[in-house]
Amino acid sequence: MDEGKKLHVHDKVFLSLPLLISIIKLSTTAILFYDSLAFHNKHFCTLAKRQMLSMSTNNLSYSDQGGTDSAVEVGQETTPTSSNAGAGFGLFSVDFKKNEDLKEMLESNKESLKLEAMKRVVGLIAKGKNASELFPAVVKNVASKNIELKKLVYVYLVRYAEEQQDLALLSISTFQRALKDPNQLIRASALRVLSSIRVPIIVPIMMLAIKEAASDMSPYVRKTSAHAIQKLYSLDQDQKELLIEVIEKLLKDKSTLVAGSVVMAFEEVCPDRIDLIHKNYRKLCNLLVDVEEWGQVVIISMLTRYARTQFTNPWKEEGVFDERNERAFYESDEEKTRDETEAKPYMMDPDHRLLLRNTKPLLQSRNTAVVMSVAQLYWHLAPKNEVSIITKSLVRLLRSHREVQYIVLQNIATMSIQRKGMFEPYMKSFYVRSTDATHIKSLKLEILTSLANEANISTILREFQTYVKSQDKQFAAGTIQAIGRCATNISEVTDTCLNGLVLLLSNRDETVVAESVVVIRKLLQIQPTQHSDIIKHMAQLFDNITVPMARASILWLMGEYCERVPKIAPDVLRKMAKSFTSEEDIVKLQTVNLAAKLYLTNSKQTKLLTQYILNLGKYDQNYDIRDRTRFIRQLIVPNDKNGALSKYAHRILLAPKPAPVLESAYKDRDRYQLGTLSHTINTKASGYLELSDWPAVAPDQSVRNVEVKEWAPSLGKTGKSKPAKSSDDKFYSDSGEEEEEKGSGSSSSEDGSSSSSEESGSDAESHVQKNSSQSSEESDKSSSQSEKSSSESDSEKKERKTKTPLQKKTVKPTAKDSDSDENGNIAKEANSSSAEESYSDSDSDSESDSDTHTDSDSGTEHKKETKSKAKPKVEVKSTKEVSLLDLGDFTPAPVTQHKSSVLSPSLLGDLEGLSLSNVSSIIQVSGPAFVPEKSHDLLHRMTGKGLSAQYQFPRQPCLYQPTMVSVQISLTNTTDHPLEQIHIGDRSPTGLNMHCFNTIECLEPEASVTVFMGIDFNDSTQAANFQLCTKEDHFSVSIQPAIGELLLPITMTELDFRKEKGKLLGMNESSATITMAAENMTSQPISRPVATVANLGVVPSSQGNVHRFAGKTASSRAVVLVTVELRESSTALITINTEKSVMGSMLLRDLKLALAQA
Amino acid sequence: MQFPAKMIHSLFLVNSSGDIFLEKHWKSVVSRSVCDYFFEAQERASEPENVPPVIPTPHHYLISVLRHRIYFVAVIQSEVPPLFVIEFLHRVVDTFQDYFGVCTEAAIKDNVVVVYELLEEMLDNGFPLATESNILKELIKPPTILRTVVNTITGSTNVGEQLPTGQLSVVPWRRTGVKYTNNEAYFDVVEEIDAIIDKSGSTITAEIQGVIDACVKLTGMPDLTLSFMNPRLLDDVSFHPCVRFKRWEAERILSFIPPDGNFRLLSYHVSCQNLVAIPVYVKHNITFREGSSQGRFELTLGPKQTMGKGLEAVLISSQLPRGVLNTNLNPSQGTYNFDPVTKLLSWDVGKINPQKLPSLKGSMSLQAGASKPDENPTINIQFKIQQSALSGLKVNRLDMYGEKYKPFKGIKYMTKAGKFQVRT
């Protein structure tokens, strides 16, 4: 061992001789260079020094390499940005021996030895040392079975493959094999490494792998392929077109895992191909909340850019925008909107609104980058009156790490210049602490200055007073500048500030004084009158001030206002003449200026002094001063040659100067998008994409509608509005804001295509049309990569044909059961894939599921539908059920069952056959399987002073609002006098959404009346408390719903049921085993008690012992699935699957109770 | 020509003395010398904290984060939201801390292989891939002393044998198949009070920042709900991704499936509009006289509005003016220390006994002939109050659904001083 080392030392010496010489040469040139530059470029010096140091310390280590290569590398090092630099310096300071034994270890048969060696190699790489010569030994292990060893080999390969291309190719086949591995993680990691090997020759292989991975079953692998796209693109830009195809395909992916990565790839490869986004815009918006946080940042910034090209400016007319009109705007077709945009006040595009709405919750993210990106989105896209919602969150970020603070403060600084009001309430959050870092302090100061106004200036100035005294003198100087800015901006405090600054002139610290002088000079220039005493004061201080800038400022002031201080100015000049030679250049220049000005105004006293100074200046070392002196002399001292100019000397030198504007450094930062690197460094970073200006006229919005390609051409032409349509418009514009937005924006409603369409005639069909490209793509996926083709739409056409007879049937307000049966059948054959989609949507925004159907009206459909006259009419009505039923022209008589004064909600049960539930094919509300007669006491006649009230749940979808549960209330007057004005008073919780019945003017003795109301319980069993009032009395009553009453039954096929259930496993599943009596083991007794407990629909079952029930919650439309599996020995397993786990467990409890009894 | 690639290109770890001790490149290799620009900024900065987080260089941009006296310098080639990088770097530090207990140069050097594996998993092509600690722990087992010993003997590995499922599950932050014999869930409500008190003792600004840190060790897939007595107090909240946002919006209840182990459930802010009770007061008398080389220093602390809870772990620190040469002070309790080089005075007070208020009195000697400092030093106070959240936030109850066992639940409250300054 020892001997080996000795030998090695010898080697070193011999090897390094020529090398040393070259190094010496190099360093001498460097030294020369260094010297020559020393005065000019301090920056370079430090670099050079560093290089020299590193060279000297590394002399020995270079010799290890024993080649001239390393000397070349040293040369390159001197340019700090050279991107190759390979191993850098340092290289191998360890000895050869180690290298040798690493090689041996890697080639040994023992796994543990190999692993040990690889760990050491990774250690070398981490230290930045060169381990490239081990490449052949390492690459042999790429096929190792040991996972850790493999990983380390991957690390090595990625690092050195570029340098050892030939050898790297040896490993490719291993990866190609791994790409076919059944394990998704192995496939993914193989693709990761393969794409990280930057060897041009494997580009075709990479391309193939990416394409394959892009249609992999596993979303994780697809995500990796999105990453690989960028890697391949940076390796070979000729592949762009092919890669864009892959991106296009991946953009359609619905997995939240993929979304962020593919948008990243899009941003890198083809950020200008905005057309690829159109069709995916709404999907991205809706998925956004569920995407991982890093992806959110990327998507949001991309959508910001997108929105700026697609929507019109919401800032033009503030506060005019009216959500109600949006629908009309949105619905109207292309030509119409073109005309309208000019005439009408601004209306926000629903897609624009969708983006704003869906990003808002992300302000609550723990990831500061996400919060910031939402903030910038609001800043750049939201109407002015909505921007302020980001304030709170941004201020919250200030509690985060120092670096985060820095970036956030910078952005706030830019914002606060334009919108003081946003941050003013949080002014105190920007107060400076002595422990803040310098750059944080100055940013806070900046913001405080921007926030200052007449109202808060005194508070701010008081705060500034503390800062001025700070031990951090740089910060104190910054504060003085800030005071100066406040003084110019707010005229009320100018004098106060000026006096304060004058006081600072007697400060002991030089920087403070100097800064004050400079600021005072600027202030005086703005308001030169009445301040001669201040100038005098400054002249007195002149002797004590040594900071050149401050002295120069005072001299300039003297010269500029020499007429106001006629006695003092010449005296100052006299002093300056004495000390001229020892002053700094900047002071000398101002002295010359002062002399010239005094010469012009007061030549009697200063002529000699001026000439003296000009003479001194003439022989000054500094070129500028000599130059200036010469110029001034020619200008002011009259002689023969220069008569022309000297006439104007007075006007040239003593011209009124414009006052300087004290502005924020962040004044024009907003030309960069907030939150970007370019904004931070205030220069355009490479790769920065400009935010475009709003288009004057919004581009066609229909591009975002998702539709079948085949049908597309007919759309534009036939889109003429018809009477039927205009009535639609009006009606739409009345519907609630949320519903319309969501409905239009999200794809949630429509994908259900087939079975919902069958229910509601033309509307639904148009849904098919609009959304089928999406749904087709989806079924595409499920039917395992069959190409999107005409066969798809063909089948849809067929469906439509088969549907026609059905539609007629369903229009009739009867036959609920048969209805649901048909649903089942159709749904099965039609669109088995829709399940997936509906799930993800209901997940992402449960509000969306209200029963609107939005963008459905394309003219084509109307044309077709006019064939059957009756239909459009019915249809229009059916859509109305959303929030208002204006029944003026619509008699519900034939369907009302109850003798109530108000429209019965059961009407809805009948109408609903026609309506479109926008949830999805499988989730459609059906009629209740069973309505329990049980009624509950609401108000006992004793407590109600003769008024008694009972309530029951009629289990009908609520008429007033789909999220409400309808409650039937029977009121009886047991007194002997009529009760007047029965109505509902205060309610609690106050936020409770409740639709009250109309006031009953008079209830005769012994009479009773049944009324309906709707209550939105928000899917909780919290009681709704309210007051039942008569003319004289108020009675507090409360309705406590059983959990089962908060559900609405839905019908679905067994297949769909299974599918849905498959998505609601894990945390969404709760189950229990109970014992049942043996005689109850048949189907009937099971569904009865279940139906009594909960309003669920029965799902037809192929297995005798398994009973399935399905429903959805009224408020949030979450699917609730109940499975009762009968087992031997009279036990049964109840399983409940729902994302509302609380409801699930409560329902389970109720069901257990009910079935165990049975 | 290398096409400028997005996101994070390389990472250098730099210690406080300016040495690069680890480098990792996700794309092609960037020369170390790019860090020279960083060193230059480091030299220029008077304090380590003053190094600007974003440094532009001719071809790259350096975005750095300082934690535990280590600079994490990321090299960027083109436009990227700087917060994206900063947030990621902090996440890296958090992960290291989670894995090694501490995040020091020594710890990183000792575990360089694990560090490398982690960095490899966390970033793919410069874009974050897996940053959830639960998933990472499935991919790469954290080193423990026992495992290190076992590994060296058996030659087995740190890398998870079977591949993780977390990345692909419905609940990306929780690993599957968690099992505990003792099922426990602990929640710590920790509030920090930030305040600036002026000379006369009146509050200039005060606000409360709170967090709820959880340590949940529960078997299976528990679904927890946490409700508060007074949720309205929470003014501005940010959540761990596991919290169901809609539920909070509607009912002000935290409903979530927790990650396994330690995590921050939420952080909140109690608005400064509410009056914040300041739990401590300081009487001070610090004077420098013109022309004298002596200054007086008197400080007395006392509790105020602490709701009967004692002030603990009180620590006073103050940066005295440069002119102070030395101090001769006498604490009534605890120990004090003055560093004549950094001029930092610190006084470890300990517990405050309301009957006998702690004080620190004495004289300071000033540089002879130097003028009197303009400003009196600012006093920073640290303290803790156990079993109380200053804002009055109270957890109402914690329920668990989805699993059958009965977990052990615990909740702890604590108030701490955050950036608590008294100007004198």
Residue A778, pLDDT > 60, answer no
Q: How confident is the model at residue A915 (pLDDT cuts 50, 70, 90)?
A: very low
Q: Which residues contact A626 (CB under 8 A, 6 or more apart)?
A: A617, A618, A619, A620
**Could you tell me if A977 and A1001 are in contact, meaning their C-beta atoms sit under 8 angstroms apart?**
no
For range B247-257, the mean pLDDT: 89
If one compares A803 and A934, the residue with the highest pLDDT of the two is: A934
Contact with chain B for residue A367, Cβ under 8 A: yes
Q: How confident is the model at residue A733 (pLDDT cuts 50, 70, 90)?
A: very low
Question: Taking CA atoms, what residue in A is nearest to B45?
Answer: A438
pLDDT (0 to 100) of residue A377: 94
| Amino acid found at A867 | K
Q: How far is CA A268 from CA A226, A228, A302, A440, A957, in A?
A: 11, 12, 11, 33, 49
pLDDT (0 to 100) of residue A964: 79
| Cis status of the peptide bond prior to A989, with omega within 30 of 0 | yes
pLDDT (0 to 100) of residue A654: 80
**Could you tell me if B71 and B18 are in contact, meaning their C-beta atoms sit under 8 angstroms apart?**
no
| Phi (first) and psi of residue A524, to 5 degrees | -60, -35
Using alpha carbons, select from A989, A985, A983, A986 the residue that is nearest to residue A1023: A989
Q: How confident is the model at residue B224 (pLDDT cuts 50, 70, 90)?
A: very high
Element at A170 (helix H, strand E): helix A165-178
Question: Taking CA atoms, what residue in A is nearest to B173?
Answer: A292
Using alpha carbons, select from B390, B88, B396 the residue that is nearest to residue B269: B390
Distance from CA of A608 to the nearest CA of B (A): 41
Of A253-257, A404-408, A652-656, A674-678, the one with minimum mean pLDDT is A652-656
pLDDT (0 to 100) of residue A1120: 86
Q: How far is CA B294 from CA B325, B339, B368, in A?
A: 10, 18, 9
For range B339-368, the mean pLDDT: 87
Q: Do B241 and A463 touch (CB under 8 A)?
A: no
pLDDT (0 to 100) of residue B215: 92
d(CA A507, CA A522): 19
For range B141-153, the mean pLDDT: 64
**Percentage with pLDDT > 70 across chain A:** 66
Q: In DSSP terms, which residues pair with B344 in a beta bridge?
A: B319, B339
pLDDT (0 to 100) of residue B370: 67
d(CA A169, CA A173): 8
pLDDT (0 to 100) of residue B413: 92
Chain A from 669 to 708: CB within 8 A of any B CB? 675-678, 680-681, 683, 685-689
Distance from CA of B78 to the nearest CA of A (A): 5
Query: Which residues in chain B are contacts of A467 at CB distance < 8 A?
Result: none
Of A84-93, A106-115, A544-553, B356-365, the one with minimum mean pLDDT is A84-93
Residue from the list B27, B50, B56 with its beta carbon closest to the beta carbon of A437 = B50
Strand A936-939 versus strand B280-288 pairing type:
unpaired
pLDDT (0 to 100) of residue B1: 34
| Phi (first) and psi of residue A568, to 5 degrees | -80, -40
Taking each helix axis from N to C terminus, what angle separates A2-37 and A96-107, rounded to the nearest 10 degrees?
120
Cβ neighbour number for residue B228 with a 10 Å cutoff:
18
If one compares A295 and B148, the residue with the highest pLDDT of the two is: A295
CA end-to-end distance (rounded Å), chain B: 60
Chain A from 175 to 194: CB within 8 A of any B CB? 183-186, 192
pLDDT (0 to 100) of residue A1086: 74
Chain B from 278 to 317: CB within 8 A of any A CB? none
Express each pLDDT in A734-776 by its tens digit.
333 344 344 343 333 344 333 333 444 444 344 444 444 444 4
Of A780-794, B10-24, B124-138, B294-308, the one with minimum mean pLDDT is A780-794
Chain A from 50 to 79: CB within 8 A of any B CB? 50-51, 77, 79
**Could you tell me if A530 and A499 are in contact, meaning their C-beta atoms sit under 8 angstroms apart?**
no
Taking each helix axis from N to C terminus, what angle separates A737-745 and A350-359, rounded to the nearest 10 degrees?
100
Contact with chain A for residue B135, Cβ under 8 A: no
Using alpha carbons, select from B237, B252, B312 the residue that is nearest to residue B280: B312
Cβ neighbour number for residue B168 with a 10 Å cutoff:
17
Q: Do B83 and A369 touch (CB under 8 A)?
A: yes
Cβ neighbour number for residue A68 with a 10 Å cutoff:
11
**Could you tell me if A772 and A797 are in contact, meaning their C-beta atoms sit under 8 angstroms apart?**
no
Q: What is the DSSP string of A486-533?
A: HHHH-GGGHHHHHHHHHHHTT-S-HHHHHHHHHHHHHHHHHS-TT-HH
d(CA A1098, CA A1111): 9
Using alpha carbons, select from A640, A636, A540 the residue that is nearest to residue A594: A636
Question: Taking CA atoms, what residue in A is nearest to B77?
Answer: A686
DSSP collapsed to 3 states, A900-935: CCCCCCHHHHHHCCCCCCCCCCCCEECCCCCCCCCC
Rg of the Cα trace of chain A?
40
For range A956-979, the mean pLDDT: 78
Distance from CA of B362 to the nearest CA of A (A): 23
Residue A19, pLDDT > 90, answer no
d(CA B156, CA B160): 10
**Could you tell me if A446 and A458 are in contact, meaning their C-beta atoms sit under 8 angstroms apart?**
no
Residue A71, pLDDT > 80, answer no
Chain B from 19 to 58: CB within 8 A of any A CB? 20-25, 27-34, 36-37, 39-40, 43, 45-47, 49-50, 52-54, 56-58
Express each pLDDT in A572-601 by its tens digit.
888 888 898 888 898 999 999 989 888 888
Residues A404, A409, A414, A417, Cα dihedral to 10°: 160
For range A333-359, the mean pLDDT: 67
The two tokens of residue A512 are: 């403070």
For range B210-219, the mean pLDDT: 91
Distance from CA of A234 to the nearest CA of B (A): 5
Cβ-in-10-Å burial (0-12, 13-18, 19+) of A412 comes to buried
Q: Do B79 and A198 touch (CB under 8 A)?
A: no
Element at A113 (helix H, strand E): helix A111-126
pLDDT (0 to 100) of residue A970: 83
User: What is the DSSP-derived secondary structure letter of residue A161?
Assistant: T
**Could you tell me if A1021 and A1074 are in contact, meaning their C-beta atoms sit under 8 angstroms apart?**
no
Using alpha carbons, select from A929, A931, A766 the residue that is nearest to residue A863: A766
The CA-based angle B333-B338-B340, given to 5 degrees, is 165
Q: Do A471 and B267 touch (CB under 8 A)?
A: no
Question: Taking CA atoms, what residue in B is nearest to A123?
Answer: B112
Express each pLDDT in B279-297 by its tens digit.
888 888 888 877 677 888 8
Query: Which residues in chain B are contacts of A111 at CB distance < 8 A?
Result: 155
For range A122-145, the mean pLDDT: 85
Residue from the list B84, B113, B124 with its beta carbon closest to the beta carbon of A227 = B124
If one compares A959 and A1086, the residue with the highest pLDDT of the two is: A1086
Q: Do A676 and B66 touch (CB under 8 A)?
A: no
pLDDT (0 to 100) of residue A928: 61
If one compares B36 and B232, the residue with the highest pLDDT of the two is: B36
Query: Which residues in chain B are contacts of A125 at CB distance < 8 A?
Result: 116
Mean confidence (pLDDT) of chain A = 71
For range A807-818, the mean pLDDT: 41
Residue A796, pLDDT > 60, answer no
Query: Where does B253-343 show beta strands of DSSP type E?
Result: 253-256, 261-270, 280-288, 294-303, 311-319, 324-331, 335-339
Express each pLDDT in A270-327 by its tens digit.
888 888 899 899 999 988 888 888 999 999 999 999 998 888 888 765 444 444 444 4
Q: Do A294 and B128 touch (CB under 8 A)?
A: yes
Residue from the list A220, A395, A687 with its beta carbon closest to the beta carbon of B167 = A220
Question: Taking CA atoms, what residue in B is nearest to A112?
Answer: B155
Q: Do B86 and A369 touch (CB under 8 A)?
A: yes
Query: Which residues in chain A are contacts of B249 at CB distance < 8 A?
Result: 361
CA–chain centroid gap for B326, Å, is 33
Q: How confident is the model at residue B271 (pLDDT cuts 50, 70, 90)?
A: low
User: What is the DSSP-derived secondary structure letter of residue A370?
Assistant: H
Lookup result for tokens 């165990």 = A1156
d(CA A499, CA A148): 72
Query: Which residues in chain A are contacts of B107 at CB distance < 8 A?
Result: none
* Interface probe with A: pick from B124, B255, B343, most Cβ of A within 10 Å: B124
d(CA A701, CA A741): 14
Q: Which residues contact B184 (CB under 8 A, 6 or more apart)?
A: B215, B216, B217, B218, B407, B408, B409, B410
Of A339-353, A903-917, A1028-1042, B180-194, the one with minimum mean pLDDT is A903-917
Question: Taking CA atoms, what residue in B is nearest to A154?
Answer: B120
d(CA A737, CA A739): 6
If one compares A671 and B188, the residue with the highest pLDDT of the two is: B188
Q: Do A431 and B205 touch (CB under 8 A)?
A: yes
d(CA A934, CA A81): 82
If one compares B61 and A1014, the residue with the highest pLDDT of the two is: B61
For range A401-414, the mean pLDDT: 93
| Range with the largest mean pLDDT of A25-39, A465-479, B259-273 | A465-479
d(CA B207, CA B268): 11
| Phi (first) and psi of residue B204, to 5 degrees | -85, -50
Rg of the Cα trace of chain B?
25
For range A126-145, the mean pLDDT: 84
For range A98-115, the mean pLDDT: 79
Mean confidence (pLDDT) of chain B = 84
Element at A871 (helix H, strand E): helix A870-880
Distance from CA of B98 to the nearest CA of A (A): 18
**Could you tell me if B383 and B158 are in contact, meaning their C-beta atoms sit under 8 angstroms apart?**
no
Query: Which residues in chain A are contacts of B421 at CB distance < 8 A?
Result: 433-435
d(CA A1050, CA A925): 4
pTM: 0.65
Contact with chain B for residue A848, Cβ under 8 A: no
For range A1110-1117, the mean pLDDT: 81
Q: Do B401 and A126 touch (CB under 8 A)?
A: no
d(CA A493, CA A74): 60
Q: How confident is the model at residue A246 (pLDDT cuts 50, 70, 90)?
A: very high
Residue from the list B22, B86, B115 with its beta carbon closest to the beta carbon of A403 = B86
Of A118-132, A306-320, A557-571, B183-197, the one with minimum mean pLDDT is A306-320
| Amino acid found at B223 | D
Return the number of CB contacts < 8 Å for A and B: 320
**Could you tell me if B88 and B71 are in contact, meaning their C-beta atoms sit under 8 angstroms apart?**
no
